[in-house]
Amino acid sequence: MISTGTSDATGTNLQQPSGDPTGRLTLLHTSDWHIGRTLYGRKRYAEFEAFLDWLAQTIEQEGIDVLLVAGDIFDTTTPSNRAQTLYYRFLCRVAAANCRHVVVIGGNHDSPSFLNAPRDLLKALDVHVTGSATENRADEVLALCGKDGTAELIVCAVPYLRDRDIRTAEAGESIEDKERKLIDGIRAHYAEVTALAEQKRKALGRDIPIVAMGHLFTAGGQTIEGDGVRELYVGSLAHVTASIFPDWLDYLALGHLHVPQRVNRSETMRYSGSPLPMGFGEARQNKSVCRVTLDAGQGDGRTTVRLIPVPVFQRLERIDGDWEAISTALSRLVSTQSQAWIEVVYDGVEVIGDLRARLDAAVAGSSLEILRVKNNRLSAQVLGQLQEEETLDDLNVQDVFERCLDAHEVPPSQRAELLGAYLETVASLDQEDPGET
């Protein structure tokens, strides 16, 4: 990385860039690393380190010019020292390679103040960080320069937009009023930032590509049970539609949803998905990052996207069925010397009270680890009680609150209002940044 970071129209050389003579740029889009995440008590730092090593190698091998990281770098707003080490070590490695720029935006799991703290230092390495929405929207418009100092790409680096960034609260608002204001606020924010990007391109006097980034939930987006993806705002209707993004964008790099997918069937509007499975529900999911090629020419062929599969660094297996099916599957894994982490879901007819003991005996002496056991048959027999192996990992915050309502025999007529107030409180806690003073 040798070029300067952002430039304005008055300070940018208007000559043609002297990088790729064809005017071609290669981007890599990834998101939702969730460094520091655990799985039923098991730490996963070895997986995160292996992924970041692979990603750095892929950037070098694929000749990537710009890396886009669309939020949720860390799993919590207070990442551990080990998680921070992995992050900064990776950035230093990429900075020393041929990749010219890295653009990082904050996600809902990230602390904006933590991400922004080393921003000026990282900028010297051509690592551009936008941890939170800025008061001056122009700060979210980055003109990235090539080796000769001429602008070659404009990036609308829009981070996760917190409620307070896009909506003014008023007394007596209904949930519907809040949702409408949230959607309008997100739409207005993107309209302003993308308009500034188009103005910058006109000022530069060249038809350089414009890409946008975001960390949000689009309408119709696909999720998987247990992937940890949370609603970002109060209510479930605050999902934006593809219509809020200008159709002239060359590419839209989104984060938040863990399933790799297109937005509204568009090839150039995508979620890269999480590179590691966040739970056993994603065990059989193919993970990938997006390699995006931008050509200097105009028209439909300007942008091409190719998915690069991410290797499996720690195999996860979900085994379900009756005892015979489970026993057979475990025997097969033992015979292949698998080192998988396993979730067992027993739903046979026979009531097995010693299921855990049988499972431990089946994998004894192997490298298999059974992290979770769900005995559906036993659970059905013990009505009104939590199953023995159920933990808080199996429940989300709404499940816990609803169990509390059940325990206190709250009548149905009062539940909707109480649940709405509770979810609003939880959402406001998610919006807080522990790094702010």
Euclidean distance between CA atoms 82 and 87, whole angstroms: 9
CATH class in words for 316-431: alpha beta
Q: Which residues pair with 375 in a beta bridge?
A: 346
C-alpha dihedral (342, 343, 347, 352), degrees to nearest 10: 70
Euclidean distance between CA atoms 148 and 158, whole angstroms: 27
Query: According to the model, what pLDDT value does residue 182 have?
Result: 84
Element (DSSP H or E) covering residue 128: strand 127-130
The structure tokens listed for 247 are 């159709």
Element (DSSP H or E) covering residue 121: helix 119-123
What is the maximal distance between C-alpha atoms in the chain? 77
Q: How does pLDDT run across 39-98, given as a tens digit for each residue?
A: 998 999 999 999 999 999 999 999 999 999 999 999 999 999 999 999 999 999 999 988
Q: How does pLDDT run across 334-387, given as a tens digit for each residue?
A: 999 999 999 999 988 888 888 899 999 999 999 999 999 988 766 555 444 444
The structure tokens listed for 350 are 């026979």
DSSP structure string for 82-93: HHHHHHHHHHHH
Cβ atoms within 10 Å of 346's Cβ, excluding its own: 24
Inter-residue contact 221 to 232 (CB < 8 Å): no
Inter-residue contact 277 to 283 (CB < 8 Å): yes
The residue ranges of the chain whose pLDDT is under 70 are 1-22, 169-173, 223-238, 296-301, 377-399, 405, 407-410, 412-437
Cα dist. 296→143, 199, 209, 210 in Å?
Answer: 16, 19, 8, 11
The structure tokens listed for 26 are 């290669």
Query: According to the model, what pLDDT value does residue 310 have?
Result: 97
Sheet holding 127-130, edge to edge: 127-130, 101-105, 66-70, 25-30, 288-294, 303-309
**Residue with tokens 């006097």, as numbered in its chain:** 205
Euclidean distance between CA atoms 356 and 375, whole angstroms: 9
Helix (H, G, I), strand (E, B) or coil at 142: strand
Cβ atoms within 10 Å of 117's Cβ, excluding its own: 14
Domains 25-309 and 316-431 in one fold: no
The structure tokens listed for 147 are 């080796």
Q: CB neighbours of 146 closer than 8 A, spacing ≥ 6?
A: 3, 17, 18, 19, 100, 152
Pairing of strands 66-70, 101-105: parallel
DSSP at 8: -
Cβ atoms within 10 Å of 358's Cβ, excluding its own: 15
Euclidean distance between CA atoms 210 and 294, whole angstroms: 10
DSSP structure string for 238-261: --B-GGGS-TT-SEEEEES-SS-E
The structure tokens listed for 276 are 């590691």
Euclidean distance between CA atoms 122 and 114, whole angstroms: 13
Beta strands in 295-335 (DSSP E): 303-309, 316-321
Query: According to the model, what pLDDT value does residue 390 have?
Result: 52
**Residue 57 identity:** Q
Euclidean distance between CA atoms 59 and 67, whole angstroms: 8
The structure tokens listed for 351 are 């009531």
Euclidean distance between CA atoms 379 and 76, whole angstroms: 32
Domain ranges, ordered by start, for the chain: 25-309, 316-431
For residue 6, how far is the Cα from the chain centroid? 25
The superfamily CATH assigns to domain 25-309 is Metallo-dependent phosphatases (3.60.21.10)
